[in-house]
Chain A
């Protein structure tokens, strides 16, 4: 039976078909590109809505003519397999291509071609594009907040020191490695706290005192997330163990703690830290707002951390517990030497995700009046000299956060892959 085979190639005539097909696709792409970049409508002779649909129709016919199960040409097969499996797929392919081409010139000209970056006041921005001058002028504010300009080296030095101390584990001698956990859980947080306190806060060693109200910008984001990170981990570990304990009182206290913090939004926790917390402190006892916020976020994130660690504990086979017990190990010995080292290795990706969430949550401290990056943007936006650049500011902040978070998530993927193969 002869089936109607209109516009359908077979292996014999695929050469002719693919030439005509790719020509048609090319025509459709040229039409869209000239439309978007040169503002020339090549198909203006066609009536009404047909001119907008023209590239789509031509492209679809072209792709349809190129589609064949197996042609023997490497490129053509690759193309057919990946973007041209059926008519619906071809349509989606064309739509995505066209929308990228359509969006490109506008965003390019706004972000780069028509944008201004020279000058140091609003008057420099006369073009129709973005005004990156605004970011350039405010850059130090966005990074360091209201921290005095001449002391920015203190923040930088503190960060470099803290990061360097964090890498100590890599270079530790083999016979000292058993103290690594002790170092990271207890010594490192204390040293880091002292470094940040004496360098950034100042007040001694001839450094001028800078109160926490002046801290801000991206560096505050780092400080808050760093402290919450190192404190919430041990706390989470305690509650994770507590939740798996077979002593009912400890178990239910841990469950209550975890479920409570996981059930409330962070913003109410921050409100609590700023308005309710001072009521619960002894008289004449003053606690800095930043410290209160860090405590609140730590308590909050510890609950999430605990759940992740509990997942790791649960996934260990029972045999590990039994084996440890049969060697006569007690509860603490068993956990410190057998269970936790294995469980913590398993939960590293989960912990990395919790920290990622933590970093993404830090802009929230804006609602209690701490001016980290989002807060500085809000300040800059209302500055009478720089009105009307909200778009640039938020795009800048988004890019900064996106790079940080994307790097973190990629790193956690890598960790996940690394530890998956090991087991």
Chain B
């Protein structure tokens, strides 16, 4: 009896406490909304949004619905996160490896890079790139061409656009190449296990990846043209580039700040991972006659990756959440488009803030679930 009371009383109290808080908040919200004549509901999502978004991946205009505006914001968030994740991974791996270098200068430069970029608040870094560094770029008419065809100007970065014909044939060829590589790899492993023969899988894979898409150009009727941005005069003093793809300065500033900031954390993860593989592993591998390349590929990396990947995914998640700082420099991401503009117009604070938070929550929890599954899979199974 005593035990039952000990077990149930705290739980009931806790649940009661939570229910009371939620009840209190809902009651207040109800009275407040009644007083102000606001009704609760998600019907506004299908209404016409009647505001414009300056940068969007899908077709969007003011006559589209709020739901579509939400999608535009979400895609912009995902775009900036995706680009930043790729750049921060490359930078992070380089810096992380550099921190383990035997070269005094390289080691210390990498250490100072990490100390420098991770100790400045991300918002300040974004502001610095957007308001200070990118504003110092030349006007469109004075811009120099980088690599001959791209223009970095104060109004954004102009790069050539690709104009495809029969793009789907090309994509099918790429897909076929990837499937062929997977089949080849499995075959190679089988061959090695049963007959002990080695075939240069990597070389064949590269060849497949180049040859198959090339064939599509020759026989599949695929063609690729580049639309190069050209300077156009709008008025006496105002110029603009036409054609091609223009990346707005907001996007560039955001990608720069996010990837530089997060790369320091990725670098620390990489360093910890490589340091975490004991020296004995390397020596043992060398003593059974593996070449240095094989030691790295077959012994060090698989073990290091097991340590590196979980915290690194965490950093990717942080990056995705940090990309919401976009709102501070008016890059039209989810927070700015939806929790900013749409909220101002509809006044539906509760619905919109909840949707925004739930979206981020879904992204986070999905990635966390995938990571847990992956961790379970690669875990060392000890007996």
Interface residues of A (CB under 8 A from B): 81-83, 85, 89, 92-93, 96-97, 247-250, 253, 259-260, 262-269, 271-272, 275-276, 278-283, 359-364, 366-367, 374, 377-378, 381, 390-391, 393-395, 397-398, 401-402, 405-406, 409
Contacts and interface: CB of A to CB of B under 8 A. Distances in A.
Given A247-B10, A253-B14, A276-B353, A364 B123 contact: yes
A70 to B, nearest CB: 16
A394 B132 contact: yes
27 contacts: A82-B104, A92-B106, A93-B103, A93-B106, A96-B109, A253-B15, A253-B18, A263-B361, A263-B364, A264-B360, A265-B335, A267-B324, A267-B325, A268-B357, A271-B356, A275-B349, A279-B350, A280-B32, A360-B120, A367-B327, A377-B127, A390-B135, A391-B132, A394-B124, A394-B131, A394-B132, A402-B116
B124 A363 contact: yes
Contact of A282 (B11, B28, B122, B368): B28
Given A250-B11, A253-B18, A265 B360 contact: yes
A221 to B, nearest CB: 9
A401 B124 contact: yes
B28 A279 contact: yes
Given A89-B102, A92-B103, A405-B120, A250 B32 contact: no
Given A263-B368, A265-B360, A272-B353, 18 more contacts: A92-B106, A96-B109, A247-B11, A260-B361, A265-B322, A268-B324, A268-B357, A271-B353, A275-B343, A361-B121, A362-B121, A364-B123, A366-B123, A374-B127, A377-B127, A398-B120, A398-B125, A409-B115
B194 interface: no
B12 to A, nearest CB: 8
B106 A96 contact: yes
B365 interface: yes
B324 A265 contact: yes
Contacts of B349: 275-276, 279
Given A96-B109, A268-B357, A374 B124 contact: yes
Interface string B92-135: 00000000011111100100000110011111110110011101
Interface string B1-32: 00000010011101100100000010011011
B306 interface: no
Contact of A83 (B15, B33, B104): B104
A225 B365 CA distance: 28
B171 to A, nearest CB: 34
Interface in B64-102: 101-102
Contact of A268 (B104, B116, B353): B353
A97 B104 CA distance: 12
What DSSP secondary structure best describes chain B's contact surface?
Answer: helix
Given A248-B11, A265-B360, A83 B105 contact: yes
Contact of A280 (B25, B103, B119, B322): B25
Tell which of B32, B123, B321 has the most Cβ of chain A within 10 Å. B123
Interface string B349-376: 1100110110011001100100000000
A271 B102 CA distance: 48
Tell which of B14, B29, B116, B124 has the most Cβ of chain A within 10 Å. B124
Contacts of B327: 267, 367
Given A96-B105, A247-B11, A268 B360 contact: yes
Contact of A271 (B14, B29, B335): B335
A93 B324 CA distance: 39
Tell which of B11, B353, B361 has the most Cβ of chain A within 10 Å. B353
B120 A401 contact: yes
B328 interface: yes
